[in-house]
Structure 1
């Protein structure tokens, strides 16, 4: 059971990362480094969020989404479930 939960968590983190990457590119940033620099985010940590290789807190996610002008409800809309990881 624990392994199934870990796989589910990893899959969700990957989907979150893909959504963040998509928002970044839509905002005109070609690299995560430039986005993180311009928004005073830790470059290495932000890269891990996009890669889906690090847990992200709700507070951190809200802060990042504010940079894009996107709310949590917009981020987790119906298309979120259809994201592929």
Structure 2
């Protein structure tokens, strides 16, 4: 019961006296939006796509068969 009354008082703003020096929530939200927009612009420019060169993804590797002469030479040595 005590928890419920404390929670209800907190939502009504009755637990802490209001400070007239506090900025309104709308100002705080605008600062947060501006910061997010700045961070998004920075990450978009930082994460530009650069195609990779040389990878094997999606490509079949070609394995060459050893030539019979080279195999025979190795066996003779």
Q: When the two structures are superposed, what TM-score results if normalisation uses the length of structure 1?
A: 0.24
Q: Which has the higher helix share?
A: 1
Greater relative contact order, per chain length (Cα 8 Å cut-off, separation 6+): 1
CA radius of gyration, larger in: 2
